[in-house]
Chain A
Amino acid sequence: MLNLRDHEAELDRALGRLGQRSKFAEILAQGSQGVVVNVDTKSHRASALPRVAGAVMRAWAGDRWVEAAASGFDQPTLDRAVDSLERELAASTSNGSPPGESSTTVGSRIQRPARPMSEMSVEQIVDLAQDYFRWTSAVPGVKNAQSSVGWWDDERFYLNTAGARCHHVAHRVRGGVVAITFENGKSEFDYTAQGGLGGAELLDAFTEQQAQDVAHSALELLHAPAPPTGTMSVLLDNGTTGTFAHESFGHGTEADQFVRDRSYLKPRLGEQLGPEALTIWDDGSVPGGWGSVAFDDEGHPGEKTMLIDHGRFVGALHDRDSAAALGAKATGNTRRSDFLSRAYVRMTNICIEPGDMSMEELLEEAGNGVVLEHWTSGMEDPLGGQMQLKVQRGHRIENGKLGGVVTSMALSGSVLSFLKDIRGIGKLNHPMEIETGFCGKGHGDYLPTGDGGPYLLSRAVVGPA
């Protein structure tokens, strides 16, 4: 832990200066540190993650926000940033008030994992990564394998001129393996990873069987045919359902895009978009969720926001600006990647609620089509409402039964059509598992976001990828 509160006096002084020039100002101090160990066939590498810390300051200049940031907390460094903002504020000719309500939340949430990764020696983490590697590479035919175990602490201290003061530390841990196979110039791979907010206890569930399954999958893909292409029934596995919820649907619920008239979902608020059984929410307060936040970067506590309730589109995600513009309230979704990045409305953990269909029922309902498994990426289209999801593997569905394995593929089509065409939502036989992903807003500003869901049956365009 970096103990950002050690710099509270310097940050208070900077905030005080800004408060004299602006109707509202805020400072976010942020720092991170961690260790990641990578092991592969030729080398093993322990890397200490960058120890980077600094502060970003935002002030209301009468008609717009102005920001400056610096990588340090010493008085001269902070003063230079304040000086530059004071010049911007002095140059402003507008005297308007800032939009929305300023947070007055005071709180501290220092997460305490059962077994903090920071208390593990590098040697212990190397041992763990080598176990993962050995489990994967021991499967005959696997030509290369990579394992990774890492942890990452993110400390944030937010304060503003309205009195908010929020200090929180998140400990994230993640472990996984990649199995690589190649033959006659063709390469394939498969992967698995798991993690969340917490400590080493989250990695206890990672088993030798999981690693071996990945290895066998990569071998299977070497000789698997390409998927069929065209419009067909598609059955998304849990992770791909979560990726759909995030990339295809969730980005359209970020209300900063509503304000810009840049969301295909804005005119649909209140409409029935999917079947009665469809419910989607975003929740920054999920205990241990990869994307959970104790407080967002405007000082609002993380909370649950219902987006689709029994098929009806009922809510959106807001920061103070969008909430003010649209008569809503901030939802705890204002996030910065780090102190160098601007704040945007972002998702935390977005999930689709499970339904009541078994796998057999879903396959029978599908008839013919494909199962999409092991997501690798997705891309949003907030205005156009098109979707793009890529998975590493899948299965054919033939006459209501699971068919052979097929190689990587991509899904495309209209999100609204996909939602309307949902005709099966699987049941979960275990608590919702939050996947560990990173999300960009457009083409940058990556931060950790979680997602999850059950198997989901609909119809879309399948193509090569």
Chain B
Amino acid sequence: MSGSVATADTAFRVAEHLKRASAPWDVFGERITTHEIHFGPRGIELLRGPIVLEGYGLRLLRSRDGKIGVGYQASTDASVDGVASTLEAAESVSRYSAFPAKDVTLPTGTGTGAPRPEITDPAVWADAPRALANYTSALFAAFQNRPGIGLSFGSVKTRKTEVTMANSSGLSAGYGHTRVELEVAVKSSGGAEGAPPGEYWVTAFDRRLDATPLPRLADDWSRYASDARRAKAPPGGEHAVVLPPSVLEAILPASLGYKLSGRAELREMAPAIGSTVGAPQVTLEDDGTLPWAFGSSPLDDEGTPQRRRTLIRNGVTTELLYDALHGSALNHASTGSAFRGGFASLSSGGSSFGSAPGPSCTTLTIPGGDGGSDEELIEAAGEGIWVQQLGWASPDGLTTMFGGEIRIGYRIRHGKLAEPVRGGTLGGLVLAGPNTPSLLANVAGIGSRATLTGHVSVPTLLVRPMTLGGDEVATSAA
């Protein structure tokens, strides 16, 4: 796709000035152009854009006393003086860092043999304001003529990012991608029932502005907002729980991205290869090449081609995620899993260059199983809870614990969805050793069809049991 070719040259311009660097280096550049529409109940409140952020992160890898001194500095100043200042800062901090690897093998080439997953929306790439306006019109139209239903708050954001990478081993590569963020609060109010208003507040991440599913989503979201008005707190205790992909997206990547990586292995916190961590039917992959996935790209952030990695097969750990640095420390090749997070002082720029790369997951996938449709999983649950949304899953990468309030869900009675529930806390471990209950170990049913949402492509899961803190006076507290 021609639109996915980076036209910015940030990293290449910076690399021109790094000839005098005293140690191996790599530089990751981005030029990000953002457009946003923010709206409230009375329509558009704010138009933003273009918001242009261009910057780079420079990493030095200095060998010293059998270790690597890693120096990292990011900047938006790509002038000759700016690069010199950035290099000086990176050299300064590299003298005070020590990572347990003797040397690091950096990728080479131009990335021409790398996979080319579809990650660029041509309409956003070519004319983001127009694409954004058309999408927002379709969004507003989808919520028209719905008595008692309205959009109380939200935004649609598009980001066009041109990535360039270079290093001292000769890497010179680049690509482009688009990202889309939708945040919507759907409110249900009025009517004869006199109940307080209800809300379904959702955030969705995608690679493209696709208005096609909006009418169906508006139906679903309006129903959840209305059901929240009459929902009651669920009972506490152990339940069969059915978790759709949107809930698993809130739990799995943040809980497992660290635990199944070389970063955790280095600190003896990762499960051993060959150890059982899930039910026999659980297979978990990390796929950086999935079309239209938020985490897909031709190359990771060090320039290693992306691929698919099988982390857990039939409940047994088979592979972990490595970047070049952790791979070197652990005598393992990079798995193309070097990625960069955001940073607190620049939270909304959508940038990656502000932080050094480390091993992490892209899109976690679970292949479809033999559990059938959502209705069949609900029938298999018999009695239990369908969780539609958690307030915040609070996933913890160190322990893999999660726990969040049920914002909207449904009781399952006699194998059918029944009355809505809201409140109470669902939680537990995602991954644990043998004989310790966990979400992956207690998977009792896997739906037949995986759905891509955010950083997962997974089917609905039936988990039995899970613990729910609900609206009952606790006897065990006495």
Contacts and interface: CB of A to CB of B under 8 A. Distances in A.
A182 B399 CA distance: 9
A169 interface: no
Q: Interface residue tally of chain A, by bracket? A: 35 or more
Contacts of B314: none
Interface string A300-342: 0000000000000000000000000000000000000110111
A40 B398 CA distance: 14
Interface stretch (A159-167, A207-215, A435-443): A435-443
B183 interface: yes
Interface in A392-409: 396-398, 408-409
A52 B34 CA distance: 17
Interface stretch (A15-23, A69-77, A345-353, A420-428): A69-77
Interface string B388-411: 000110101011111111010000
Nearest to B78: A72
A342 B152 contact: no
B92 interface: yes
A71 B433 contact: no
A387 B436 CA distance: 29
A7 interface: no
Given A187-B398, A438-B344, A43 B97 contact: yes
Given A43-B99, A260-B152, A388 B93 contact: no
B50 interface: yes
Contacts of B86: 51
A257 interface: yes
B48 interface: yes
A461 B76 contact: no
B48 A386 contact: no
B394 A390 contact: yes
A230 B477 contact: yes
A41 B213 CA distance: 49
Nearest to A396: B477
Interface string A42-57: 1111111111111010
Interface stretch (B167-175, B281-289, B377-385, B468-476): B468-476
A384 B198 CA distance: 6
B116 interface: no
A463 B96 contact: no
A152 B344 CA distance: 10
Contacts of A77: 52
B422 A49 contact: no
A182 B354 CA distance: 32
B108 to A, nearest CB: 25
Given A186-B436, A379-B405, A464 B76 contact: no
A281 interface: no
B148 to A, nearest CB: 13
Contacts of A186: 399, 432-433, 436
A64 B47 contact: yes
A61 B392 CA distance: 37
Nearest to A52: B76
B274 interface: no
B23 interface: no
A157 B471 CA distance: 50
Interface residues of B, number: 109
Given A49-B345, A188-B399, A229 B469 contact: yes
B328 interface: no
Nearest to B74: A50
Contact of A35 (B93, B196, B432, B434): B93
A216 interface: no
A200 interface: no
B74 A71 contact: no
A71 B403 CA distance: 38
Interface stretch (A105-113, A282-290, A291-299, A369-377): A369-377
A48 B90 contact: yes
B66 interface: no
Contacts of A188: 399
Contacts of B183: 442-443
Interface stretch (B36-44, B301-309, B444-452): B36-44
A232 B471 CA distance: 10
Contacts of B432: 185-186
A68 B391 contact: no
A428 to B, nearest CB: 27
A384 B28 CA distance: 43
Contact of B425 (A35, A65, A69, A388): A388
Contacts of B418: none
A228 interface: yes
A118 to B, nearest CB: 12
Nearest to B189: A261
Contacts of A408: 396, 399, 401, 403
B195 to A, nearest CB: 12
Given A45-B70, A461-B425, A51 B405 contact: no
A262 B187 contact: yes
B266 A42 contact: yes
A260 B40 contact: yes
**Counting chain A CB atoms within 10 Å of each CB, which of B197, B199, B403 scores highest?**
B403
Contacts of A35: 93
A264 B228 CA distance: 14
Contacts of B93: 35, 46-48, 122
Contact of A384 (B199, B472, B476): B199
Contacts of A383: 152, 185, 187, 197-199, 201
B398 A43 contact: no
A71 B76 contact: yes
Contact of B36 (A43, A185, A187, A342): A342
A410 B425 contact: yes
B187 A340 contact: no
B46 interface: yes
Nearest 7 Cβ contacts at the A-B interface: A463-B469, A185-B433, A465-B403, A463-B425, A230-B474, A379-B392, A50-B74
Given A123-B96, A413-B423, 19 more contacts: A44-B98, A45-B97, A47-B72, A64-B44, A180-B269, A185-B271, A188-B399, A189-B398, A228-B474, A232-B474, A264-B196, A337-B346, A340-B346, A379-B394, A387-B405, A410-B427, A446-B347, A461-B470, A462-B474
Interface of A: 32, 34-35, 37, 40-54, 56, 61, 64-72, 77, 80-81, 84, 88, 122-123, 126, 143-144, 152, 154, 178, 180, 182, 184-189, 226, 228-232, 257, 259-262, 264, 337-338, 340-342, 368-370, 376-379, 381, 383-384, 386-388, 390, 396-398, 408-414, 438, 440, 442-448, 461-465
Interface of B: 34, 36, 38, 40-41, 44-55, 57, 70-77, 85-86, 89-90, 92-100, 152-153, 181, 183, 185, 187, 189, 196-199, 201, 203, 228, 233, 236-237, 266-269, 271, 329, 343-349, 353-356, 391-392, 394, 396, 398-405, 407, 422-428, 432-434, 436, 467-478
